[in-house]
Amino acid sequence: MTRELHRTSLKDAVDDDTLPVCWKGKKPFRSIRDVRKYFKPLALSFANGGRSAAHFDIPPENYLIVSIKGSVCLGILNGTEIGLQNYNIIGDISMQDRTVIYDNEKNMIGWGPGNCDRIPKGKASAA
């Protein structure tokens, strides 16, 4: 990602400590829409033994934030930089418009598309 960004007008925002990796433009950004053209979707693959890998596609608006200083910052943290060894932290922003499924019996999680713009309809329960 960093290599591709060197071909753009974005520069490392060393004066912005919002997150470990931030970039700034010629003027402060107000929205992810201002920088979306510089970034591609990320694709993560998760393997579980012999099973086929699960894929998690993340559009730029779900892994970037605009800081108070007007920089754009990566919302995925390298765990080695914060003492987590080989683990990375994918922020809650990456789960926007997703439904997360927890299978406690099989110790697995999953996800699927979710329309978070509306409240799910459910049956009313009597108290």
The string of pLDDT tens digits covering residues 10-32 is 999 999 999 999 999 999 999 99
Cα dihedral value 118, 45, 23, 69, nearest 10: 30
What pLDDT does 88 receive? 79
Residue 77, pLDDT > 80, answer yes
The pLDDT score that the predictor gives to residue 39 is 92
For residue range 34-66, what is the model confidence (pLDDT) as tens digits? 999 999 998 888 777 767 677 888 899 999 999
DSSP bridge pairs for 101: 110
* Whole-structure pTM value: 0.74
Contact between 5 and 60 under an 8 Å Cβ cutoff? The reply is no
Rounded average pLDDT over 60-77: 93
C-alpha closest to that of 2 among 23, 33, 25, 24: 23
